[in-house]
Structure 1
Amino acid sequence: MQKWFGSSGICINKNNELLMVLQGKPDENKKWSVPSGGQEINETFEECCIREMEEETGYIVELIDEIKVKKASYKELNISVEVHYFLVKIVGGERKIQDPDHLIYDIAWKNIDELKELDLSFPGDRILLIDCMNNQK
């Protein structure tokens, strides 16, 4: 079974809105997600999160806390995944898509009501993201 490792950044602004990206392959329906991606060789999960945030949103972030580690196996795809979720805050940069994989189509701040209705790339993340937003109030 293949193994995939990655990180996700959860960034909530002072208006209690979550930073999200609209992503997908060119031939797929696009869905919303928090910025995330795969770990590169010799990269820590923390470094992966910081890099992915900048690539997908243009923002430079600082890690506040590791919130969750999600592990899952998908036998039908012959892959197991381990994703580290970090709470982050913006410390620089500007909103700009610069994703080298060309999978990001939009960057937006979403409030909790919008998050409840969005078509998510990873629907299982909805509860975690809502909980994070509720805890930031």
Structure 2
Amino acid sequence: MARIDYVDDPEAPAITNVVPSVTALIQDHDARILLIHKTDNDLWALPGGGHEMGESIRETVMREVKEETGYDVEPYTIVGTYTNPNHVMAYDNGEVRQQFSICFAARLLGGSQRTSEESKEVTWATIPEINNLEMHPSMRLRIKHYLDGREHPFIG
């Protein structure tokens, strides 16, 4: 399903839905960050996705990272909450979502790298490499908040 992101755009379509979702920030032993090249908007992003009924938010993080990257992770803290009502995502099925995402820092436990229907590429990237990738500003903000080593999670 394709999507278009709108941020602070007065021409953005009206929101029809809010779906709790997660992103996960995982670093390897070389301080590289795990990223996916998304199929829905053709941008690089942290792995993540929608929370499903019957699972805990911890389970959502673990499932989404596994589905999109092939890796097993364990979330250990919250980087921040991202609920900007001026960031909406319009999907080609007519749904228009308000951003509602919790970003978790997670430890790599194992698994092996693979792609999925949602990720056409999976990579470990250094900060200089990330700076040169096409990425939505909301993903860059999550990475910045993580790297800032904030004492408390971002709430926004």
Question: How far is 1:134 from its partner?
Answer: 5.6
Q: Which amino acid aligns with 1:32?
A: W
SS of structure 1 residue aligned to 2:100:
strand
Alignment of 1:1-137 (within 5 A): 1-25=16-40, 30-74=42-86, 77=90, 78-97=96-115, 99=116, 102-120=117-135, 122-133=136-147, 135=149
The normalised TM-score by structure 2 is 0.73
- How many residues matched? 128
The normalised TM-score by structure 1 is 0.82
Change (3 A) 1:79 1:111: same
The answer (yes or no) to whether the contact 1:59–1:92 under 8 Å persists in 2 is: yes
The answer (yes or no) to whether the contact 1:18–1:133 under 8 Å persists in 2 is: no
Change (3 A) 1:37 1:68: same
Query: Which consecutive unaligned segments of at least 5 residues does structure 1 have?
Result: none
Q: Which amino acid aligns with 1:61?
A: V
Change (3 A) 1:75 1:116: closer
Change (3 A) 1:129 1:75: closer
Question: How far is 1:63 from its partner?
Answer: 1.2
Identify, as 1 or 2, the structure richer in helix: 1
Identity %: 20
SS of structure 2 residue aligned to 1:105:
strand
RMSD: 2.0
Query: Which consecutive unaligned segments of at least 5 residues does structure 2 have?
Result: 1-15, 91-95, 150-156
